[in-house]
Structure 1
């Protein structure tokens, strides 16, 4: 069967993890990386789901407004991922000590990882938010400090990367694994189909 994939796809993110996941789904697609430079500060009382939906939409809209003419007909994909503990979005570490504090909060607990995906092409818009439950083992202070010292946590929601060394702390996962990495591929696949593309 012939596969119909986009001639090109604009990724509104500088995340190497999202890039790798998209190429896992569509190895032949020509990806154009156009990050949206936005203020991603937490808004007081904003839920994790509301936050990621707002930011994914804002990223896609910002990139569309400045899209080069050569990319006019390409789908634009934006995403935002948040780690939520007991209803509170944790954001990304702002310092070494903040990363340590985030991981101390996650130690021995279950938390949620929610990613919003916004895919648009012209006037067509697909938006979804996916949540995965992740459980952590009890962490010692030494484990946390050693992990933060690797630098891996510093650009990641919640202060860990499940696709890297952070996997050693995960005792269980319910839901999409790729969602925790930063992009739920099963959702992107369905959204592409809604736009008329068949990637498998």
Structure 2
């Protein structure tokens, strides 16, 4: 059995590989804005879970013939922060200016990184079961100096990650700590994924690479 990761995120791939799983990576190509627009006033958990499931289902449709006995895992993350107009849900900044604004909001404060997870079990190339869930983790941000922040923005890293920061890259210098599951902040919660796999009848240990290949 193979685990198919419906994500282009190198961080999620690295988490799984470090935890003994060598997934097949298939990028979903889902229009995230269209999925989000179809949801009537979703909570952050509902939003990221719907996006994760859309990604997983798209990959099932695209690869079911190739991966007939597999589990497809989709994920999506958003940062929830308190803004001037109340609670705000933010994804990837995309531009330096938006990333700078994100850091102006969170520096020296806290936010919640919410990651949605979806698991689809494939049998004979068809979806036999699917489950979803989410994980919320408190992130305590440091306060980088202006020079530090400009240097971080210049790396390009914060532009393409949820909330404009990472825990496992350059951004880790500016995160004081997390209360909850750190793997979820990186992009995929190992404990939650293990529980979801069990719900579709798959033990995570059956996905580990053989000890001789480690």
TM-score normalized by the length of structure 2: 0.83
Say if 2:57 and 2:120, in contact at 8 Å, map to a contact too.
no
User: Match for 1:71 among 67, 70, 75?
Assistant: 67
Say if 1:47 and 1:88, in contact at 8 Å, map to a contact too.
no
Cα displacement string for residues 4-23 of structure 1 (whole angstroms, at most 9, x for unaligned residues): xxx21211111111111122
Q: Work out the CA distance in 1 between the residues paired with 2:59 and 2:146.
A: 41
Cα displacement string for residues 96-134 of structure 1 (whole angstroms, at most 9, x for unaligned residues): 111111111111110000111100112211211000000
Cα displacement string for residues 1-53 of structure 1 (whole angstroms, at most 9, x for unaligned residues): xxxxxx212111111111111222334x4x22111112223649543222101
2:202 is the counterpart of 1:197 = yes
Q: Kindly indicate which of the two structures has a greater share of residues assigned to strand.
A: 2
2:119 equivalent in structure 1: 119
Q: Work out the CA distance in 1 between the residues paired with 2:129 and 2:28.
A: 20
TM-score normalized by the length of structure 1: 0.88
Secondary structure at 2:140's aligned position in 1? strand
2:82 is the counterpart of 1:88 = no
Q: Work out the CA distance in 2 between the residues paired with 1:197 and 1:54.
A: 22
Secondary structure at 1:51's aligned position in 2? helix
Structure 1 alignment gaps of length 5 or more = 1-6
User: Match for 1:23 among 5, 14, 17?
Assistant: 17
Output aligned runs, 1:1-200, within 5 Å: 7-27=1-21, 29=22, 31-41=23-33, 43=37, 45-86=41-82, 87-121=87-121, 122-200=127-205
The number of aligned residues is 192
Shift of 1:68: 4.2
Shift of 1:198: 2.8
Greater CA drift, 122-131 or 107-116: 122-131
Say if 2:81 and 2:88, in contact at 8 Å, map to a contact too.
yes
Secondary structure at 2:73's aligned position in 1? strand
Secondary structure at 2:201's aligned position in 1? coil
Structure 2 alignment gaps of length 5 or more = 122-126, 206-214
